[in-house]
Amino acid sequence: MAITSLSTWGHDVRNMPIRQKLMLIVMATTAVALVLAGVGIVFADFMLFRGYLKNDLSALANIIAENTTASLSFEDPAAAAETLATLHSRPHVVTGCVFKNGGALFAEYTRPGASAVCPPPQSARVIRFDRGILLVSRPILLNTHRLGTLVLVYDLGEVYERVQLYGATVIAVFLFATLIAFLLSSRLRSLIATPIIDLARVATRVSNSRDYRIRAQKFSNDESGLLVEAFNEMLAGIQSRDNGLQEALLAREVALKDAQKARESLETSLASVARLNRQLRTSNENLARSNEDLERFAFIASHDLQEPLRMITIYSQLLVRRYAGMLDTEAANYVETIEGGTKRMRLLLADLLTYAEIGARSEEPAQAIDLNVIVETARENLAVSIAETGAIVNVAPLPVIRGFESHFTALFQNLISNSIKYRSDRQPEINIDAIRVNEDLQICVADNGIGIAPEYHSKIFAAFKRLHGQKIPGTGIGLAICQRVIERYGGRIWVESDLGHGSKFIFTLPGSLLVATGF
Ligand code: ADP
Supply the DSSP string of 405-442, one letter for each residue: HHHHHHHHHHHHHHHHHT--SSPPEEEEEEEEETTEEE
In the prediction, which pLDDT does 383 show?
96
Pocket test for ligand 1, best of 344, 351, 355, 418 (most atoms within 8 A of CB): 418
CA-nearest residue for atom 2, ligand 1, is: 474
- Is 59's pLDDT higher than 90? yes
Please tell me if the CB atom of residue 23 comes closer than 6 angstroms to any atom of ligand 1.
Answer: no
CA distance 184 to 181: 5
Radius of gyration of the chain measured on its C-alpha atoms = 72
Mean pLDDT value across residues 304-333: 86
Please tell me if the CB atom of residue 96 comes closer than 6 angstroms to any atom of ligand 1.
Answer: no
Which residue would you say has higher pLDDT here, 1 or 443? 443
User: Confidence class of residue 10 from pLDDT cuts 50, 70 and 90?
Assistant: low
**Span from the CA of 467 to the centroid of ligand 1 (angstroms):** 7
pLDDT tens per residue, range 78-103: 999 999 999 999 888 999 999 999 88
Decide if 503 contacts 449 (C-beta within 8 A). yes
Mean pLDDT value across residues 384-399: 97
How high does pLDDT run on average in the chain? Answer: 89
Please tell me if the CB atom of residue 413 comes closer than 6 angstroms to any atom of ligand 1.
Answer: no
Which DSSP symbol is given to 456?
A: G
**Span from the CA of 294 to the centroid of ligand 1 (angstroms):** 24
Decide if 177 contacts 34 (C-beta within 8 A). yes
**Span from the CA of 440 to the centroid of ligand 1 (angstroms):** 26
- Is 6's pLDDT higher than 70? no
CA distance 239 to 179: 47
CA distance 289 to 69: 169
Question: Sign of torsion, CA 396 397 401 407?
Answer: positive
Pocket test for ligand 1, best of 475, 479, 505 (most atoms within 8 A of CB): 479
Which residue would you say has higher pLDDT here, 378 or 50? 378
- Is 220's pLDDT higher than 60? yes
CA distance 26 to 28: 6
Please tell me if the CB atom of residue 460 comes closer than 6 angstroms to any atom of ligand 1.
Answer: yes
End-to-end CA distance of the chain: 107
pLDDT tens per residue, range 418-451: 999 999 999 999 999 999 999 999 999 999 999 9
Which residue would you say has higher pLDDT here, 313 or 361? 313
What does pTM read for this prediction?
0.51
pLDDT tens per residue, range 193-218: 888 888 889 999 998 998 888 998 88
Please tell me if the CB atom of residue 503 comes closer than 6 angstroms to any atom of ligand 1.
Answer: yes
CA-nearest residue for atom 21, ligand 1, is: 418
- Is 517's pLDDT higher than 70? no
**Span from the CA of 348 to the centroid of ligand 1 (angstroms):** 15
CA-nearest residue for atom 4, ligand 1, is: 474
- Is 327's pLDDT higher than 50? yes
Query: Which secondary-structure segment (H or E) carries 43?
Result: helix 18-73
Please tell me if the CB atom of residue 475 comes closer than 6 angstroms to any atom of ligand 1.
Answer: yes
Please tell me if the CB atom of residue 351 comes closer than 6 angstroms to any atom of ligand 1.
Answer: no
**Span from the CA of 343 to the centroid of ligand 1 (angstroms):** 19
User: Confidence class of residue 157 from pLDDT cuts 50, 70 and 90?
Assistant: confident
- Polymer length of the chain: 519
User: Confidence class of residue 411 from pLDDT cuts 50, 70 and 90?
Assistant: very high
In the prediction, which pLDDT does 67 show?
92
CA-nearest residue for atom 13, ligand 1, is: 466
Q: φ, ψ for residue 435 (rounded to 5)?
A: -135, 165
Mean pLDDT value across residues 377-385: 97
CA-nearest residue for atom 19, ligand 1, is: 418
CA-nearest residue for atom 11, ligand 1, is: 466
In the prediction, which pLDDT does 103 show?
87
Please tell me if the CB atom of residue 493 comes closer than 6 angstroms to any atom of ligand 1.
Answer: no
pLDDT tens per residue, range 230-263: 999 999 999 999 889 999 999 999 999 999 999 9
Please tell me if the CB atom of residue 474 comes closer than 6 angstroms to any atom of ligand 1.
Answer: yes
- Is 367's pLDDT higher than 80? yes
CA distance 317 to 336: 9
Pocket test for ligand 1, best of 429, 460, 477, 484 (most atoms within 8 A of CB): 460
Q: Going by C-beta distance under 8 Å and a sequence separation of 6 or more, which residues neighbour residue 97? A: 84, 105, 106, 107, 108, 109, 118, 121, 150, 151
Lowest mean pLDDT among 9-18, 135-144, 175-184, 398-407: 9-18
Q: What is the distance, to the nearest Å, from the Cα of residue 189 to the centroid of all Cα atoms in its chain?
A: 46
Nearest-atom number in ligand 1 for the CA of 476 is 8
- Is 1's pLDDT higher than 50? no
Which residue would you say has higher pLDDT here, 140 or 297? 140
CA distance 309 to 296: 19
Q: pLDDT exceeding 70 applies to what percent of the chain?
A: 98
In the prediction, which pLDDT does 265 show?
92
